[in-house]
Structure 1
Amino acid sequence: MTSPVSHIPAATAEDAIAHFSRSFRFETDCSDVYHSYQVGNADFVLADARGPALYRRGHLPQAISLPHATIDEKLLARFPPDTLFVVYCAGPHCNGARHAALALSHLGYAVKEMTGGITGWLDEGFALEGETTAAHSCGC
């Protein structure tokens, strides 16, 4: 008898390499973002996809407020076409970052989602900037 884990066979090593390699083209993690800022090598714009009130309550250092529902050509006119955006929202329970990533992609920008969002950032022990620490609500 097989377990629910092995009931469907695992991918071949070749397929796994292709899948996981491809996923890194779409996402990054909190530690990589933090490290990039620590060494002064942030070659991306970090964007908080939640609403302005939650951004004010607490956001990642260096992040701009870019609520996903407001993303349009006019708002992004200040960014060169080759800008790489890294978007985040509250965390795994929130899809605001994916909405933002889709909107940015529709406008031709390169984009990656920071997995874990604020929840992941705090789990790593990194600090937020803003008024309070109760800022990991979705509010999307």
Structure 2
Amino acid sequence: MLDYLTAKLAYEVDVLDAAAGLDSGEFILVDTRKQASWDHGHALGAIRLLDNIPAGRTVVVYGWGPGCNGATRAAAALIARGYSVREMIGGFEYWYRSGLDVETAAGTVHPPVHPLVGASGAAL
């Protein structure tokens, strides 16, 4: 069981750690959703899966939410190409609920922190 949990922690990253890694330049955040979803809104600083993904940094992929496996499929394809990849737990849904900035066609949106998420973004 310990091996499983260690491997899981090496592969997954929560939204707050993903945001911090994006800000520090440690991660490249990649949105794996369809173009229409991207156009509606995406994590500020993310790039589209179809964009050129630079090598040399860890790629963090995300999809819609915990019920979406698009990020997992994209991660498998990127790992097969030699990228270091992690998957963001909860996807765009958790990013938004945590009150992290979202980029839309109208500009940057600062969503409110969801009531079930603490002020720091940590689960209650």
The change in CA–CA distance for 1:36 and 1:84 in structure 2 (over 3 A counts) is closer
Q: Aligned ranges for residues 31-110 of structure 1 at < 5 Å?
A: 31-37=16-22, 40-66=23-49, 76=52, 79-80=54-55, 82-110=56-84
Measure the CA separation in 1 of the matches of 2:69 and 2:97. Answer: 19
Structure 1 runs not aligned, ≥5 long: 1-14, 68-74, 134-140
Measure the CA separation in 1 of the matches of 2:33 and 2:45. Answer: 15
Q: CA deviation at 1:92?
A: 0.9
Q: Give the number of the structure whose residues are more often strand, by fraction.
A: 2
Could you say which structure has the larger radius of gyration?
A: 1
The change in CA–CA distance for 1:19 and 1:26 in structure 2 (over 3 A counts) is same
Measure the CA separation in 2 of the matches of 1:62 and 1:108. Answer: 23
Q: What's the TM-score once normalised by structure 2's chain length?
A: 0.75
Q: Which has the higher contact order (CA 8 A, sep 6+)?
A: 1
2:112 counterpart residue number: none
User: Which of residues 86, 102, 123 in structure 2 aligns to 1:128?
Assistant: 102
Structure 2 runs not aligned, ≥5 long: 110-124
Deviating 4+ runs (over 6 angstroms): none
Q: What's the TM-score once normalised by structure 1's chain length?
A: 0.68
